Amino acid sequence: MIRKTACSAIVLLVIAGSTPAFATNGMNLEGYGAKSMAMGGTGMAYDTGNSAAMNNPATLGFIREGSSEIGIGVRGLHPDVRLSYGPYSDKSGSMAFYMPSLSYMRRDGRISWGAAVLSQGGMGTDFGSDSPIFAGGRSLIGSMVSMSGESISTEVGVGRLMFPIAFHITESTTLGASLDFVWAGMDLQMDMDGNHFGKMMAGLGGSVGGTMAGTLGSMMSPSGITDINYARFNFSNDTPWTGEAKGYGAGFKLGFTHEFSKEVAIGAAYHSQTSISDLETSKATISFAGVMSSTTPFSQSLTGKIKVHDFEWPATFAAGVALRPSDRLMIACDMKYINWSAVMSKFSMSFTADNVPSNGYFAGQTLDVTMKQNWEDQTVWSLGLQYMATDRLALRAGASFAKNPVPDQYLNPLFPAITENHYTCGFGYRLNKVSSIAAAFTWAPEVKVANGDGMTISHSQINWGLNYVHEL
């Protein structure tokens, strides 16, 4: 019976966990599981339930011996992203995202094991097709020009299917590990005006290369192309479950916990950097618009394949302590170090045009585009409290503190991962001997930044989480 239940849960996990997440510490969620989330994102040194698969797999050792649990969760994220540039302002229409999770865990003697799936994080915006911010720009030679007038949006999501295991090496010390299957999806609908495109061709803020760039350059002449208004990149689908460009890979986690006494416990975990394949799709387009012979408008739309290179989730090291001054009170404090600089130094993609007549001179050619990001590493400090108001009701609160990892100069309004501090609360309630629920609420205050183009970008969030656990 247990094996059948576990296999059924794993099948549902894969279906449930593929939705994108839009996150708060860079691209990380501020906490995983309603208990950890309500307690400021802590979770290294105490029982976070089935969410241990994402936090610290060694804490699975706190599960009661001989028991097994199925956990079901849903997460709601509600970002508020606003832009202003001169007299113009706009607001992202991406304001609500819902992410399910599912897990199965069991403890047999010294060994705890199971499977879980969830959305790890991501980011995204949607400014539609009528945004005044993205309606115009400057051409290659500096003239004010109109952009495509088409939709401007981004969506990035990363999910994990995890197989954690924990082993009690002594009564007070537990080691844990998890092997994770990771997938990522991305949508991108972006106009780049000719001015920025030209700067990147000159190596400023990024680079533009490949055979297509060479052909485009050779066409720049008084009798050929005399100006470029914009280049548009488009790969997107309509599904809420995953982006158009997809990649797959793996990662792992290691962790430990040690209880010095009933009052004091410590724990730590290492999450490896992922190894994900290039995010690919054969349903991409690139469009150019500009001027030929100084007066004649031209446009060219190309179909082809796009690859987003080297998109990875960073390595993370976390450590924490849990204190129990009394039977009813627990205090937890964690530190996380997220190595963003190793994986977010640039955004790099290659477009290869289909070798078809409609692609004209560019058929079969490749355009390589790299945009600088130079994210900084991030240290997150988290504090959480739990008070058992009754034998069934646990009241929780917490906070986390971090600095925005994105340098102002390279902040792209389509990837506004700039939130910093979070203030949390929630509760847990045991419904009966075999089932319980937990809820969490987070407020991330507004962070406002002016980027290298002088555009002001603000981002705040209100998020919530809800979990149900049933013991088999």
- Both tokens of 330, joined, read 């627990």
* Predicted local confidence at residue 119, as pLDDT: 84
Structure token digits, residue 250? 């793996």
Mean pLDDT of 301-321: 96
Single-letter amino acid code for the residue at 275: S
Name the band, by pLDDT with cuts 50, 70 and 90, for residue 27: confident
Domain count, the chain: 1
CA 442 to CA 224: how far, in whole Å?
A: 56
Task: State phi, psi for 328 to the nearest 5 degrees.
Answer: -100, -15
Confidence at 6, pLDDT banded by 50, 70, 90: very low
Residue count of the chain: 472
Phi-psi domain of 120 (left: phi exceeds 0; alpha: psi -120 through 50; beta: other): alpha
Range of the domain at 127: 2-410+418-471
pLDDT at 87: 93
Residue 337: its pLDDT value, please? Answer: 97
The string of pLDDT tens digits covering residues 333-358 is 999 999 999 999 999 999 999 999 99
Q: What is the pLDDT of residues 231-290, one digit of tens each?
A: 999 999 877 678 899 999 999 999 999 999 999 999 999 999 999 999 999 999 999 999
Q: How far is CA 284 from the centre of its chain?
A: 22
Torsion of CA 313, 107, 41, 268, to 10 degrees: -70
The CATH number assigned to the domain holding 182 equals 2.40.160.60
